[in-house]
A and B are shown apart, each in its own frame.
Chain A
Amino acid sequence: MIVDIRVLRRDFPTLAQIVNGHPLVYLDNAATTQKPQAVLDALNHYYRDTNANVHRASHALSGQATRAFELAREKVARFIHAPSANEIIWTRGTTEAINLVAFSLGRHFLQQGDEMLVSTSEHHANIVPWQQVAATTGAILKVIPLTDNAELDMAAAERLITPRTKLLAVGHVSNALGQVNPVVKLIAMAKAVGAVTLIDGAQAVGHFPVDVQRLGCDFYAFSGHKMFAPTGIGVLYGKTEWLEKMPPWQTGGEMIKTVNFEHTRFAAPPFKFEAGTPNIAGAIALGAAVDYLQGLDRAVLQRHEHGLLTQLLNGLAAMDDIRVIGRPQAGSVSFTMDEVHPQDLATLLDMQGIAVRTGHHCAMPLMQALKLKNGTVRASFSFYNTSDDVAALLAGINKARELL
């Protein structure tokens, strides 16, 4: 099957813009992706035609909204192959999803001397919540180091995973380096010692199909806005056995069964974890994003993205003063230019209509480990990027070098 990316791009109105006098080359997809018309229509349709609160009122609009909202939950469950829609909890995003597990499970089931394991390449959102758990429970946070190639040191991981390990939390794909972590192996190692496993899938779900049952993780977290849905909506997948045991972390509204002044009985999962009015429009639009993705041949898109990655890596390899960090495999490529501050390069690329990210990419410990004081320039792809975008970036780097 041949996919014409130029035709596919027409689904994304934002991409057709002129920025600083140039056609937009959007290479900041790891920060957020653009939205297809189908997602914009879903948002508009909800607010225009069916706006009502969910699960409460007995009137027609509320019924429609509730059905759409719960249908979206089922779509997301199928999207990541969760056994049940009741294992899909709506959150604001990946960060809130991880915080939910940290506050509910971490603070109640971990104790002094227990060990939690993360990796050096984690985003701050998968470090700080566990540090907070450590501070309140006395559990210890350990870190899988990197090899010389900036990959997770699996030999060290093997030594670090012991019967004291109670939780493993790692990213599926590094947001800073675009490396795919060996999560299947790590999950198996953690399960062998009875540890709970959480995978931060923020940088994975937009790039390749994810199957939580095949992974075997207990929790999987991701954000809508990095997979073509709106901001402010995300997902925590959790195994029922854990969701039933875990106490609520925020209280009030939707999550109760009965309340009197002496005692409150909580609703069953997922509602137990969804206090207050949820982001109804966001959830429905995330469902639309899932439909949109499922309507495409994702294997073809994955090959297309891989082609872009190869084209960029070859182009950068031909530049003597450019150093690519690590071994990028999905989504993002981080690099530095000798003697040039990443921000200078990004500013001059921006003037040419090319959107990239610079700095530490919310992974300061990783940048420290790699001794990258000023961080990197990161170009991150989505399937709607083209070979012309990569060529524009390479030409833009050459132009910036002339000016600097």
Chain B
Amino acid sequence: MEPHRQPATIRKRKWNATKTAVLLSVLSMGLGQWYNRQWIKGSLFLILQFSYVVVFYDIFNMGLWGIVTLGEKPFRDNSILLMAEGLIAIFLILFGLLFYGLNIRDAYQVGRLREQGLRSPGIWASFRAVTDKGFPYLILFPSFLFLVFVVIYPLLFMMLIAFTNYDLYHSPPAKLVDWVGVDNFTALFQLDLWRNSFVNVFSWTVVWTLVATTVQFALGLILAVLINQKRVRGKRFFRTVLILPWAVPPFITIITWAALFNDDFGFINQMLSTLGIGAIPWLTDAFWTKAALLLIQFWLGFPFNMALCTGVLQSISSEMYEAAEVDGASAFDQFRSITLPMVLYATAPLLIVQYAGNFNNFNVIYLFNQGGPAVPESTAGGSDILISWVYKLMFDISKFNYAAAISIIIAIIVMSLAAYQFTRTRSFKEEDMIQ
């Protein structure tokens, strides 16, 4: 075919080389490139497509069949493994489609070039174009793959479980698992086990999130400001000491705290008794357990915030403070109108992340007192937050499908709150506060 040169208005109505190339590419990878006289590239594409189909044929065959049916014969078919395989097959197909789309786009672009009367680029030119223009993508591709299979894959797998009847009575190999649509979500709200506890647990979860996060941030900020004062000597020493709670693995410290808070044999109660205050039922009374948990979380959480705020404080120019002093502002005024807005502006996103993190802070709650103390007539312990309660309840009764369904619900709650906060924080508005 000869390259056309026609006014654009006519070109739209006429059949032309570009369309032919695109159409051929849609038929099979490489055909459009051949049509565009890019023989080597076209052949490479064709070989790639052919090998892709041959190599992955089994995975597609088994995986797609598996994820749709979840197996047909117990003992021969393991539904859960089939689901995993099906997910991999879908990922591979998406990757395939991505390349397929790129091949069509390539045919289109080269076709356009030919219409303008230019020669199609040779193989070397194409190769160079990929390594030059596509360099960032090339470099990022391995880590992207890794991310897909390490982060996205398990998440999707968990979400799929929420739509099945996977529990103790539907466990491979003896039983098949089936798709049950949104039944789990509706069944969840009919469970008697929720009724007496949900409101209590949810309200404590909210209180815990707000108090723990706000105070750990405030403590961090106050300490950072104090240490940052010009008059303070030994800044380094104080910073090191105050960073320590963050440096020790929280698993160990939480369990240590649990021992220190022990009602009868813990160091804290012995100290209180010696002081004549008397022992406090830290682990056996819901209120005091909550208090102890908050104290522990403050202790665990402030060092990170202190480090964070220290960093931000360094970047506030001293001219502002000097100007404020000339205007006769007190130290408190300076803190309120300069330091606080600046710090909040810079740390808002991380603060939101911490709120979300504490909402699901399983470790502290579970390791300190397993969500206890027990509360009469309730499936939740006195200090259980949503995530720890659900974990205990669902794994106790082996309802993996419910556990997955609730995880989705919790994730939606946290994500929507975080998204709402993010859009409202000033760091997303076009304001130029920090030069």
Asked if A pairs with B, the answer is: no
- Residues on A lying within 8 angstroms of B by beta carbon are none
- Residues on B lying within 8 angstroms of A by beta carbon are none
